[in-house]
Amino acid sequence: MSDTTQTGPMRAADGTPLKTSLARALRRQKLRALMLIAPLLIFVLVTFIAPIADMLFRSVENQIVSETLPNTVRALKDWDPKSEASPDEPVFAALAVDFQVAAEQKIHTKLGSRLNYEDPGISSLFRKTGRGADDIGKEFMGRFTDADKAWKDGETWAALMGSDAWLEKQAEWAAAKEDGAREPRFAPRSEAADALPLTADAYRTFARDTQATGRKGVPDTKPWPALFTALAQDLATASPEALAAVGGPSAGLLAPAATAVAGFEPFSYKETFVGIDKDWDKVSNWETIRLYSGNYTPGYFLNAVDLEKGVDGVQTRPEQQRIYLKLFWRTMWMSMLITFCCLLLGYPVAWLLANLRASTANVLMILVLLPFWTSLLVRTSAWKVLLQQQGVINDILVWLGLVDDANRLVMINNQFGTIVAMTHILLPFMILPLYSVMRTIPPSYLRAAKSLGATNWTAFWRVYFPQSVPGIGAGAILCFILAIGYYITPELVGGTQGVFISNRIAFHISSSLNWGLAAALGSILLGAVLLLYYVYDKIVGIDNVKLG
């Protein structure tokens, strides 16, 4: 007999090691399973994860200040807000360039709106300045064109600031003028950018904005007045060696222009801005710009908890502006109260449905489901008719003599109206989980408890109720989470005392357009829900929650 004992690794039929073959088969199986659930994962990612991530980002994002006023933000680093004096001339000089460029792009009002969230009234300052800041550039435009008329031409600026390769492509594009052909993307001249940094940044924005509109080529477009302001500041500080290093067809204009700038009549940027609006001399406005000049800010979250950033650190907002903590507390306790009311009313109904004959229970279940077939607005409007002072309920109470006609009950536009309307709306979401769990509880358990001497109450409390807790947990979580996110019903029946934090979130999204604050409020609300969910899991146990 020959020795057939195998000393090497076990192999599959194709000769590969069995371990490798099994791992490959398992990998293919996991890949097929992943492909099956991929559409659902993509759907959840796009409709759930991505919006939450975007909300979290918007709650701290603050790049509009540094992107709109980059030179001003850098100049403000040397300013001490505790000096109780507005910044000096260099800061206003930087503001002159930044503000004119922003006004040409029509984004200065957006910046004003952003800062207005932190310092109410500052948006009007930005709007007013946008109408007058252009005069600064026109003043310098007149001085440069008086020295040399060539500065009026867009081709002069293009030849000075554009690279030789871009000028060549631009000439080819202008000569061809093919339908649909895109203008070559602007490329700056490196030595011009080194010698004239402010002008290079402003012209880059000018070229990008001009090419975005697509009406004319960059060399054919009239230069912005802001370019002349930036050029005057650059030439006043540039060294002759740096200017001499600039090449291109228009380089010969720089030396005479630098000489002309040295002979310009002194110009006070600070006096000009204060002349446009005296609020530019207010320290508080500059404090706001400086405090919110970072790319990211905790300001939205601070506002969401009635705090604000100050020169000395975080401080409490003025008393008349403290509303959000009150709304958060109101949202939480009213949602809990509404959930308790739903449980108080829904438990007997679910018990009745679970213990009736199937035919009778099915008929009554239609009444439970009937509200789902009626519009939410219709149901809420019906409660407005029922609860108002001249409504049906007050009329019946007056007719019965329980309430005097001159002292009708106020049951709408307050917390009572919100609780009643939302309890009615959310009641089916409590009944259905309770009913589905109670249907699984055998009636023989109660009979057995009674046969052992338990009273009706003892049998219910010691035997039946513990088995219905999973349904209570499911219904409570469902009602509570739905309640804290409702904003239509509280808006219609809550008045000023019955609105939730969700109403302020909707207001900031649709009306004030303060999306950052809305995102911060939503993030805090999400965190509060997750915290309560964690506490609930520790106390009750999420594994005990069942829908039947």
pLDDT per residue as tens digits for the range 376-400: 888 888 998 898 888 889 899 899 8
Which tens digits make up the pLDDT trace of 331-381?
999 999 999 999 999 999 999 999 888 888 888 888 888 888 888 888 888
Distance between CA atoms of 218 and 7, rounded to whole angstroms?
79
Q: Is residue 4 part of a domain?
A: no
Q: Is residue 513 part of a domain?
A: yes
Q: Decide: 528 and 351 in contact? Cβ < 8 Å.
A: no
Let me know whether 133 and 167 are in one domain. Answer: yes
Q: Decide: 469 and 544 in contact? Cβ < 8 Å.
A: yes
Distance between CA atoms of 58 and 45, rounded to whole angstroms?
18
Strand residue runs (E) in 266-358 = 307-310, 313-316
Q: What pLDDT score does 28 carry?
A: 87
Let me know whether 163 and 212 are in one domain. Answer: yes
Beta pairing partners, 60: none
Let me know whether 390 and 362 are in one domain. Answer: yes
183: left (phi over 0), alpha (psi -120 to 50) or beta: beta
Q: Is residue 48 part of a domain?
A: yes
Q: What pLDDT score does 175 carry?
A: 77
Distance between CA atoms of 483 and 489, rounded to whole angstroms?
10
Let me know whether 74 and 124 are in one domain. Answer: yes
Residues 6+ apart with CB under 8 A from 97: 71, 198, 202, 226, 229, 230, 233
Helix, strand, or coil (residue 326): helix
Let me know whether 122 and 247 are in one domain. Answer: yes
To the nearest 5 percent, what fractions of the chain are helix, strand and coil?
70, 5, 25
Residues 6+ apart with CB under 8 A from 379: 371, 421, 424, 425
Q: Is residue 307 part of a domain?
A: no
Let me know whether 432 and 511 are in one domain. Answer: yes
Beta pairing partners, 310: 313
Strand residue runs (E) in 342-470 = none
Distance between CA atoms of 75 and 73, rounded to whole angstroms?
5
Q: Is residue 298 part of a domain?
A: no
Distance between CA atoms of 479 and 338, rounded to whole angstroms?
8
- DSSP conformation letters of 96-132: HHHHHHHHHHT-HHHHHHHHHTTSTTHHHHHHHHHHH
Distance between CA atoms of 466 and 479, rounded to whole angstroms?
20
Q: Is residue 317 part of a domain?
A: no
Beta pairing partners, 367: none
Let me know whether 255 and 187 are in one domain. Answer: yes
Indicate the residue type of 296: Y
**Tally of residues, the chain:** 548
Q: What pLDDT score does 347 carry?
A: 95
**Count of structural domains, the chain:** 3
The CATH number assigned to the domain holding 457 equals 1.10.3720.10
Let me know whether 383 and 518 are in one domain. Answer: yes
Let me know whether 386 and 472 are in one domain. Answer: yes
Q: What pLDDT score does 217 carry?
A: 86
In sign, the C-alpha dihedral spanning 262, 263, 264, 269 is positive
Let me know whether 187 and 147 are in one domain. Answer: yes
Task: From 496, 118, 420, select the one nearest 297 (Cα to Cα).
Answer: 118
Q: Decide: 493 and 384 in contact? Cβ < 8 Å.
A: yes
Question: What value does the CA radius of gyration of the chain take, rounded to a whole number of Å?
Answer: 36
Q: What pLDDT score does 1 carry?
A: 45
What is the helix (H) or strand (E) element at residue 349, kind and residue range? helix 324-355
Which tens digits make up the pLDDT trace of 84-116?
889 999 999 999 999 999 999 999 999 999 999
User: Range of 393's domain?
Assistant: 325-544
Q: What pLDDT score does 423 carry?
A: 94
Q: What pLDDT score does 361 carry?
A: 86
Q: Is residue 114 part of a domain?
A: yes
Distance between CA atoms of 424 and 10, rounded to whole angstroms?
68
Neighbours of 429 (CB within 10 A): 21
Distance between CA atoms of 201 and 194, rounded to whole angstroms?
11
Q: Is residue 303 part of a domain?
A: no
Task: From 110, 112, 69, 113, select the one nearest 92 (Cα to Cα).
Answer: 69
Indicate the residue type of 58: R
Q: What pLDDT score does 71 carry?
A: 94
Q: Provide the terminal-to-terminal Cα distance of the chain, rounded to the nearest Å.
A: 66
Q: Which pair of tokens denotes residue 53?
A: 């991530």
Domain end among 293, 310, 334 = 293
Distance between CA atoms of 418 and 500, rounded to whole angstroms?
10
pLDDT in tens, the chain (548 residues): 445 555 666 766 666 777 777 888 888 888 888 888 888 889 888 888 888 888 889 899 999 999 999 999 999 998 988 888 899 999 999 999 999 999 999 999 999 999 998 888 899 999 999 888 888 999 999 999 998 999 999 999 999 999 999 999 888 888 776 656 788 899 999 999 999 999 999 999 999 999 888 778 889 899 999 999 999 999 999 998 998 998 888 888 999 999 999 888 899 999 999 999 999 999 999 999 999 998 998 989 999 998 888 777 888 888 888 899 999 999 999 999 999 999 999 999 999 999 888 888 888 888 888 888 888 888 888 998 898 888 889 899 899 888 888 888 888 889 999 999 999 999 999 999 999 899 888 888 888 988 888 888 998 899 999 888 888 888 998 899 899 988 888 988 988 888 899 999 999 988 888 899 999 999 999 898 888 888 877 776 666 555 54
Distance between CA atoms of 209 and 202, rounded to whole angstroms?
11
